[in-house]
Structure 1
């Protein structure tokens, strides 16, 4: 593809931004590409930080997305350790934190998200960690030999994966969650109960419906105090209580609702300004949604990059997907739903291999959770993408292929 676009500036060198920059070259962009990030590390892959990297099964080199040589070959001007302070949408310029002003023809925001912090007494003690960056992971790994007991605050996917990793490392793990069940706000109570029992069966002390109110210790954390009066001894605390999309780059014409609002092509409310990945709210099946995962970041970044070059626009219609590896479980979630009408189990939970479907009132599958069933990934993705009603009574029957569970009108 040929393009008249000269300079494209990408803010954020994470998964979305790095893959978008690469996609621009693949799609034929010959102009300048400036990739900016506040981090000082070469672009790297974040999902392994809580799993393979934490376990020592992968190195910093293994998780690097682009080397200096690759970036030079792709003619990508990488600026690390700087951020954008402001943009002028009329002049199409961006002011960087080091004082430089960069002119752009198209601007792509892939600013990702930041971790929510826990501002309680003792939060400044040594040994209290958050896991977002490679530097965070390095800091935790350096202390592993000194840690026997670890408290993990938050039983979301990062907290759950870290619980799994620390158990594999032989540590005593306490998992604290203020909700009644882990992940129930995404997966429902039945699956929340399943994952609670999964962690408990692996030896994790999983405490639900309790919150941390204080960290105790002289200079280093020694114990966690909870609202219900529990005292949990530990030599390290990992806090994982959610994220906030990075939308610090503001403009009175830039629409924001949790993240930068974009249309199906990745366009924001400002001309020639786009957004992709964790920082964006994008349309899926009639609703603006926000997804924080590797698969979405890659696909959205590539799609928006292509649309930035002009020509025929391509709607982003990829079915949302994320996965999580915990113990000997591969968990895969497809789709997006908050208000499902019914759920259907296909398979046996005791076998550690099953599929769990979330249906709306029209018997359309809006989302599905696969546990150790990667073979069902493709047909499930197709069913969600087609948005065709299914026969709920057929779904539990594993002798019937998934594609044969769709409702067929009589002639």
Structure 2
């Protein structure tokens, strides 16, 4: 293969022009970096925001131009060299080069992976039928939208956040929606059984048919999907299927000395095991309170990208210490989640579930708030973030009392810590 060197001046190269990559590139300039910045993506579209794809964009409430992260003019003004439709197929960390699919060699002074995540694929008979969709890109969203006029019955495989948001959007569009989830309750592995029951009833109350504890064994049809066959013997009629069974970090670009454990393993400064190579956002495994974790959400991608950019300019100058946060809009519900935990010891409910306005706290064995879910209570967001961040034991009776402000709960926990 013929190879051509792109330039003789070594730039900072960012592979992946999603949320993390765009904010990292922009932050390099904002932090005073004057060298060349090359931002590369295999997608041909101007970098865009992904969360609206399952919501406002799917509903036709937002146009393509509304979801672009930045304009061409903005990239030019910041002197960010945006290379779209360019696929990097390998890197050589020792030579500090990246090689594109057409053999072009791109030299770099420092390299940042912001390669995001890739979809888990459902491998069953009939997966290649027409109208079996996945939603990851703007092209995916456009393809789904273009077919909806001819669709009345939709099956969504997977009751995660993408599946739940799509169910909400498609129901608003007047479609007959069935969610098929292999777990007993939706989102219970993240939010617990009580909240799993809540979200199950939420979708059912909106007229969505939610089937749990069952999975796809086959898609059936001639050229286009017409039925979903399940392990428990169900036959579900449909004219379209959208599969949303999760994602995995995109670590297809690698090096024998690069530490990869699900994602690119980085330290608190975003440094990988290779010198001058960094990773940020969905593709990274990063340290949080004694363990490496992986977060696939917008807020983390923004903040991690910005933070790692600082460390690319001034090494080890800005440890990443953000509290994980994500949100989801489903029907008329705004859901917000702060923190991260998989093995909480107890939960505390503040408010009334029946009122559909409450905060649900996840505590460890020391009564420290590790995470919290807010349902239709955005005014509590700042106080909840502080409670998660402080890592002091709280009085659970005060925490559950809606007449006691969360600010006072936070102050009381601080006072008790100081007294102790």
Summarize the alignment of residues 142-221 of structure 1 with structure 2, pairs less than 5 Å apart: 142-221=146-225
Q: 1:404: Cα distance to partner?
A: 2.3
Counterpart of 2:399 in structure 1 is 395
Question: Residue 302 of structure 1 is aligned with which of 290, 302, 306?
Answer: 306
Gaps of 5+ in 2: 1-8
Q: Which moved more, 1:226-235 or 1:91-100?
A: 91-100
- Distance (whole Å) between structure 1 residues aligned to residue 90 and residue 145 of structure 2: 36
TM-score (norm 1): 0.97
| 1:43 matches 2:22 | no
Question: Residue 21 of structure 2 is aligned with which of 17, 20, 27?
Answer: 17
| 1:239 matches 2:250 | no
- Distance (whole Å) between structure 1 residues aligned to residue 246 and residue 158 of structure 2: 8
Counterpart of 2:70 in structure 1 is 66
Q: Which moved more, 1:211-220 or 1:69-78?
A: 69-78
Gaps of 5+ in 1: none
| 1:331 matches 2:335 | yes
- Distance (whole Å) between structure 2 residues aligned to residue 147 and residue 394 of structure 1: 50
- The answer on whether the counterparts of 1:329 and 1:371 sit within 8 Å (CA) in structure 2 is yes
SS of the equivalent of 1:90 reads: coil
- The answer on whether the counterparts of 1:6 and 1:30 sit within 8 Å (CA) in structure 2 is no
Counterpart of 2:126 in structure 1 is 122
- The answer on whether the counterparts of 1:347 and 1:353 sit within 8 Å (CA) in structure 2 is yes
Q: Which moved more, 1:369-378 or 1:63-72?
A: 63-72
Q: 1:66: Cα distance to partner?
A: 1.6
SS of the equivalent of 2:49 reads: coil
| 1:29 matches 2:24 | no
- Distance (whole Å) between structure 2 residues aligned to residue 151 and residue 21 of structure 1: 39
| 1:367 matches 2:344 | no
Question: Residue 254 of structure 1 is aligned with which of 240, 255, 258?
Answer: 258
Q: 1:403: Cα distance to partner?
A: 2.9
- The answer on whether the counterparts of 1:264 and 1:316 sit within 8 Å (CA) in structure 2 is yes
- The answer on whether the counterparts of 2:163 and 2:244 sit within 8 Å (CA) in structure 1 is yes
SS of the equivalent of 1:394 reads: helix
For these two proteins, the number of residue pairs brought into alignment is: 407
Q: 1:345: Cα distance to partner?
A: 0.2
SS of the equivalent of 1:122 reads: coil
Q: 1:6: Cα distance to partner?
A: 5.4
Counterpart of 2:233 in structure 1 is 229
Counterpart of 2:386 in structure 1 is 382
- The answer on whether the counterparts of 1:152 and 1:173 sit within 8 Å (CA) in structure 2 is yes
- The answer on whether the counterparts of 2:114 and 2:282 sit within 8 Å (CA) in structure 1 is yes
- The answer on whether the counterparts of 2:217 and 2:229 sit within 8 Å (CA) in structure 1 is yes
Say if 1:6 and 1:306 are closer, same or farther in 2 by CA, change over 3 A.
farther
Q: 1:312: Cα distance to partner?
A: 6.2
Q: Which moved more, 1:87-96 or 1:99-108?
A: 87-96
Q: 1:155: Cα distance to partner?
A: 0.1
Question: Residue 105 of structure 1 is aligned with which of 106, 109, 123?
Answer: 109
Summarize the alignment of residues 132-151 of structure 1 with structure 2, pairs less than 5 Å apart: 132-151=136-155
Counterpart of 2:277 in structure 1 is 273
- Distance (whole Å) between structure 1 residues aligned to residue 385 and residue 13 of structure 2: 33
Q: 1:311: Cα distance to partner?
A: 5.8
- Distance (whole Å) between structure 2 residues aligned to residue 37 and residue 312 of structure 1: 27
SS of the equivalent of 2:40 reads: strand
SS of the equivalent of 1:143 reads: helix
- Distance (whole Å) between structure 1 residues aligned to residue 91 and residue 131 of structure 2: 38
SS of the equivalent of 2:203 reads: helix
| 1:322 matches 2:288 | no
1:173-222 deviation digits (Å, cap 9, x = unpaired): 00000000000000000000000000000000000000010001100001
SS of the equivalent of 2:398 reads: coil
- The answer on whether the counterparts of 2:269 and 2:316 sit within 8 Å (CA) in structure 1 is no
Q: 1:248: Cα distance to partner?
A: 0.8
Summarize the alignment of residues 86-97 of structure 1 with structure 2, pairs less than 5 Å apart: 86-97=90-101
